[in-house]
Structure 1
Amino acid sequence: MNVLSDRYGRHFPYLRLSIVPACNFRCTYCLPNGYHANPHAAAPLNLAEIARLLRGFAAVGMHKLRITGGEPSVRHDLSDILRTAAGIPGVRKLAMTTNGTLLSRRLGEWMDAGLNAINVSVDSLDRASFARITGHDRLDDILAGIDMALAAGLASVKLNAVLLRDVNDRELPAWLDYLRDRPVGLRFIELMQTGDSLAFFREHHVRAETLETQLQEAGWEALPRAADAGPAREYRHADYAGRIGIIAPYSKDFCAGCNRLRVTATGDLRLCLFGEFGIPLRPLLQDDNQLEDLVRAIGGQLVRKEQTHHLHEGRTGITPHLASTGG
């Protein structure tokens, strides 16, 4: 089976599927005023539509799937979605990105459903800073859930921290203490401009390469990139159980290693997080007999994928905030 390829020689075995646009956090860089539903918006894909979508992507070589939101755990049928995804032939890695608010209560249920990798958003290890960033004083509970995931033997446990100038960009020493004995992957993510965040971006953007230089000077060693890996440049150090990844979307050639496609909660295919258009797949998810048409539609869109995003030019596409597309 051939994985989808584009005209620049990139392959796409990795799908990020948003299952809900809603989120229960009010992160300053994403939804500072909280989530407000659009009464005219279509409902998220239902379980049957999700199953058909995943069978279509698996038919063209998708083997890594990440469930995203909004916050995926606000869907009451999340475990059913995970179980359905885990049962799709060809899906080898089933991951989810979450804010971790239900992690300590639902981890066992999610693992039983087939989840084998998790990313948890933890933008600060300082309780007060975490509350200011997210709007919720839940850090201790979320960290306890992460320790549970490690103890349960989840195959991959990673943490995401968005770098914010004058907010959390001086916390590397605390993070190093955390990583010394915990085999987690920490991802520092450079703040990205979205349609709603220009003023915030200008105030808080800091280049991720600054932190990367600090790591290199402290003896952290760059690792080779796995074929189905995300966009992070990963580092390890002999004195630490954990690893650190740097996601720097404004760096040179960031898009050269792109290997993922995205589908929104309502079934629109997005070729790029910051693309100018979405391709509606939902009409092709209404009947099990539409699989060939779905596969044809997915493959036929790759010619439209651009070589790079246009963030350097201030063009953020149709993404108003990261929760709208799943990040």
Structure 2
Amino acid sequence: MQNDSLPPRSGLLAFPPDNAAAIALPPGAGPLQDGHGRRISYLRLSLTDRCDFRCTYCMAEDMTFLPRHQVMSLEESLRLSRLFVGLGVTKLRITGGEPLVRRDALWLLERLAALEGLKELVLTTNGSQLERFAAPLARAGVQRLNISLDSLRPERFRAITRIGDLHQVLRGIAAAQAAGFRRIKLNTVMMRGTNDDELADLVAYCMAEGLDIAFIEEMPLGDLGHGRSGTYFSSDEALLRLQERFPLQASDESSGGPARYWRIAGSETRVGFISPHSHNFCDTCNRVRVTATGELYPCLGQNDATPLLPLLRRHPEDDEPARQAILRTLGMKALGHDFTRQLDAPQVVRFMSATGG
């Protein structure tokens, strides 16, 4: 039996504030909304803080990972997901760390795919395990994959990931295509002086392989011992650079997340930009995050969170305490964040791998 007493963590609230109770809805009464009237239909659920890479923008080189008893069991992850779907969430993204290093992750994915009311089950991965798992993931019911890829140059890729093998990831992408996945999307974190000279090459690769790509402005999460102002590369600058090589056309398409897309004439490839600095998308935010330790974060750019795991363990046969905590927590969801002012002094000191990618 797992211990239900978790040590206090910085930024956590023992319970959501009472002034959030007014937005609580009885089960089945309607869709989730936050205190600003935004519909919440998208949950990003982390299975683990562990990863087989050590990407420089995501975690420290020498990481200390969580002890097992602090991490949700797969059964607890399923129980919490069922609660969110019952409250109106229709899209579920499984993240990490690297979710495919979690033992028996396929067991959970099969059961998540069967949840009544869930319309989309997607997974974010670094691609390292896809050569082995792509076909089983498709059989389990995962519908789409996002694959992190920040460089097509082997030595540079290893420098960014500290550990990763580019060719292993490329074989994983090929395995995912062979398994029947469509609209595979690459995620590339843009870093000035590191990979900003490869943006066009990455788009060309996606066009040749029939992939989509999203370029992401680096977010100041976690204390890496240095600021990000020197490496920050904006979506606007990236767009201008890409337009020198490709005939990009603005599109109103959406994948249900924060990316804003452009099309390339004569190609199926979509080029997206996720711009938490230059084009804040908070006004349309439809998502919340649950970490591998069961902490519900209404906003990636804030420290406020509610620990749900103690409620699950304290009430193993009663979902109502966790359900009410979820509903009340939405009242904490901030109207927006300001990452730009935090480039060299991050207010969110947890690493991205701890929150869920």
Pick closer, same or farther for the CA change 1:32–1:301 going to 2, 3 Å: closer
Q: Aligned partner of 1:17: which letter? A: L
Q: Distance in 2 between matches of 1:261 and 1:121?
A: 21
Query: 266, 276, 280: which one pairs with 2:293?
Result: 266
Q: Distance in 2 between matches of 1:318 and 1:173?
A: 31
Pick closer, same or farther for the CA change 1:309–1:198 going to 2, 3 Å: farther
The aligned residue for residue 51 of structure 2 is 23
Deviates more, 1:209-218 or 1:234-243: 209-218
The aligned residue for residue 236 of structure 1 is 263
1:67 matches 2:94 = yes
Task: Name the TM-score, length of structure 1 as normaliser.
Answer: 0.92
Number of aligned positions between the proteins? 325
1:214 matches 2:226 = no
Matching of residues 300-319 of structure 1 within 5 Å = 300-314=328-342, 316-319=346-349
Q: Aligned partner of 2:80: which letter? A: L
Matching of residues 1-327 of structure 1 within 5 Å = 2-38=30-66, 42-197=69-224, 199-216=226-243, 218-226=246-254, 229-286=256-313, 287=315, 289-314=317-342, 316-327=346-357
What percent of counterpart residues are identical?
Answer: 38
CA contact 2:203–2:271 (8 Å) conserved in 1: no
Q: 1:220-250 CA deviation, whole Å, 9 max, x = no partner? A: 1122143x61111111112333211111100
CA contact 1:220–1:237 (8 Å) conserved in 2: yes
SS for the counterpart of 1:303 is: helix
Q: Distance in 2 between matches of 1:70 and 1:116?
A: 20
Q: Distance in 1 between matches of 2:296 and 2:259?
A: 23
Pick closer, same or farther for the CA change 1:31–1:38 going to 2, 3 Å: same
Q: Distance in 2 between matches of 1:37 and 1:178?
A: 34
Alpha carbon RMSD of aligned pairs, Å?
Answer: 2.0
SS for the counterpart of 1:192 is: coil
Q: Following TM superposition, by how much is the alpha carbon of 1:198 offset from its aligned partner in structure 2, in angstroms?
A: 5.9
Task: Name the TM-score, length of structure 2 as normaliser.
Answer: 0.85
Q: Following TM superposition, by how much is the alpha carbon of 1:184 offset from its aligned partner in structure 2, in angstroms?
A: 1.5
Q: 1:87-110 CA deviation, whole Å, 9 max, x = no partner? A: 221112111111111101111112
Q: Distance in 2 between matches of 1:104 and 1:260?
A: 30
Pick closer, same or farther for the CA change 1:181–1:270 going to 2, 3 Å: same
Long gaps (5+) in structure 1: none
CA contact 1:275–1:316 (8 Å) conserved in 2: no
Long gaps (5+) in structure 2: 1-27
